[in-house]
Amino acid sequence: MKPETPWKRAGYCAVAMLAAANAFGETTDGGVADGAADAVPAIVISALEAAARGEAFADDLHPETAKTGKPPSSVQQAFDVRHYALSVRIQPESRSIEGTLDLTFRAIEPLSAIELDLDPDLTVHAASMAGVAATFERNGDSFTVALPVQVDAGETRVVRVSYGGQPHIALAPPWHGGFVWSEVDGTPWFATAVQTEGCDLWWPCKDTYADKPEEGVEVAVSAPRGVMVASVGVLAGVTEGDDGFDTWRWVSRHPYTGYAIAINGGPYEVIEESYTGVNGTTYPVQFWALKKNVDKARKLVLSEVFDDLAFFERLLGPYPWGDEKVGFVETPHLGMEHQTINGYGEQYKRGKHGFDQLLHHELAHEWFGNVMTHRRPQDAWLHEGYGAYMQAVYAEELVGAMGYFDRMYEAYVSNEHCLPVVNPGVGDVGEAFDNRDIYTKGAWMLHTLRRYMGEQPFWGGTRRLLYDTREPWSLAYPIAPRYRTTEEFIRIMSEEAGEDLSWLVAAYLDEAGMPELQARRQDGQLKLAWKVPGDRPFPMPVTIRINGEEQRVAMGGAPVAVPLPDGASVILDPHSDILRDLPIIGDCAEQTDAQIQYNIDRFTRMAREYSWQR
């Protein structure tokens, strides 16, 4: 069957992600979904309030399953994942799944066993290699398969695992993730959203960002007839079963982080348009929309997605997966950056800066997150700081400086100052995302760096971060993904600037607080000095405006004195070029208390809007 036939026949980060959406000037409030109940079940309210406070609740996850991106075990370090082939049967009536995984791996050292992660809510039924049954042993959130024969270093093998059960139901997707179950007019509507918990919530995997399958993935999903299934890569075909279930087979040749592999099913209709990218490749743009929203989805594609793509490709370079698709799918939750199939639940609202900020943000992650992936949890700001900053840059293009600084001001006042943005103490991605400053302070650091470096060096360095070249315009597919660290970011930007910029980045990302520009008038002078957390060096020059005249003041370690007429009007940093401590943010405790109540209110509102159940 041709890939396009099925839809012609049948005619979505952590609490911090929600806070960050508000911080950048968007409410993310949606209209009430069809059939939404006026009252949310008491168990949902209790669980949501506990989640907002960081407390345990009755059906909380296994504490190790909840961690994604944690250091792999010694057994996991001994093999490299080459390919995932996942086949899963979705059973909405029982909210259960049954699946099989074929894992292709290469031994890095002699292997007698492999270890995969899987939530203990799901049962491992059997394992085998080359048709020979293998024994396996459960160990909390993981299991070990004893290989029938030893696999020597350098050899490649395939292990098959069958499993099943009732996967963890998302509490507040996508921030507290899992499987999302819903329905539309009696037809099942489901999705997966597991960014901060990881792929092991619903399938056996190596739940780390540090080992993507170099040879790609295959996802075959069987669902009740009438349900169309959207997933990663390219639709290779649909097989109609004799049991009332159809199997949708999706394939991709690209590496994926586990959480970015998603499945979505519902009564969809597919809008497809073609877009020609900056490298001359024409690729499909697909939007899998609920049938009632087809016209809205088509308008969104034609009026915004094309413009978003043009913006990203103009500043950054080619869309990374143009040999497959740009994909969006309507979800029963707000959204998530799943590679080639971004979850979308913003309900077709134009944001206050003239564009759909959620669609734009998730699309940004195809560059910042999917093709460029942070190597360690502490580097998560590379995804979210950049991802959030791109909306401010886009607002600047659409409505000018007022749009840019409106978003940046809202981000500024939402900084918490509780933890460093780059915090080596975080043990997994979820812990990193608990700090919303990875969005807000990360974006403001980029703003300050851009102002300091200038346009061409900043964007050239950004393109090198993504593609290893500042001139990626003619790159052909496949485009190689790469891992990055904060240290690599500093090296690249320093090379572009022609000077060591570690002092600038470290002052913002390695400290919980911000530099303070101290200024006082004395004896006909304006005396200026930087006070920096950790007493770090910070030779940041400052523009000052005295009686309407601007001058740039070089700053070093010692205070600087500038002549100042009596009664002069003084404005420090009049163009807000520098992220610095200003008396408009409460302390860490004040910010945290306010955010807890904000999240309780927001979670419960969204539970009504999306009809969340347990």
Query: Could you tell me if 148 and 134 are in contact, meaning their C-beta atoms sit under 8 angstroms apart?
Result: yes
- Calpha distance 171→186 (Å, rounded): 22
For residue 596, what pLDDT band results from cuts at 50, 70 and 90? Answer: confident
DSSP E strands: which ranges in 495-608? 516-522, 525-531, 542-546, 549-553, 560-563, 570-572
For residue 614, what pLDDT band results from cuts at 50, 70 and 90? Answer: low
Q: Dump pLDDT digits (tens) for 390-405.
A: 999 999 999 999 999 9
- Calpha distance 295→421 (Å, rounded): 41
For residue 508, what pLDDT band results from cuts at 50, 70 and 90? Answer: very high
Reply yes or no on whether the pLDDT at 4 is more than 60. Answer: no
Q: Bigger pLDDT: 605 or 223?
A: 223
Q: Bigger pLDDT: 44 or 484?
A: 484
Q: How far apart are the first and last CA of the chain?
A: 38
Q: What is the mean pLDDT of residues 74-79?
A: 97
Q: What is the pLDDT of residue 17?
A: 43
Helical residues (DSSP H) of 13-61, grouped into ranges: 15-23, 42-53
For residue 20, what pLDDT band results from cuts at 50, 70 and 90? Answer: low
DSSP notation for 415-470: ---SS-SS-TT--SHHHHHT-THHHHHHHHHHHHHHHHH-HHHHHHHHHHHHHSSS
Q: What is the mean pLDDT of residues 555-564?
A: 92
Residue 30 buriedness (CB in 10 A; 0-12 / 13-18 / 19+): middle
Q: What is the mean pLDDT of residues 42-59?
A: 76
Q: Minimal CA–CA distance to 22: which of 447, 411, 444, 430?
A: 411
Reply yes or no on whether the pLDDT at 11 is more than 60. Answer: no
Helix (H, G, I), strand (E, B) or coil at 531: strand
Q: What is the mean pLDDT of residues 357-371?
A: 97
For residue 3, what pLDDT band results from cuts at 50, 70 and 90? Answer: very low
Q: What is the pLDDT of residue 31?
A: 38
Q: What is the pLDDT of residue 22?
A: 52
Per this entry, what is the length of the chain? Answer: 614
For residue 599, what pLDDT band results from cuts at 50, 70 and 90? Answer: confident
Model pTM greater than 0.95?
Answer: no
C-alpha angle 522-526-531 in degrees, rounded to nearest 5 = 105
Q: What percent of the chain has pLDDT over 90?
A: 79
- Calpha distance 170→58 (Å, rounded): 13
Q: What is the pLDDT of residue 8?
A: 30
Q: What is the pLDDT of residue 566?
A: 92
Reply yes or no on whether the pLDDT at 448 is more than 90. Answer: yes
- Calpha distance 224→62 (Å, rounded): 30
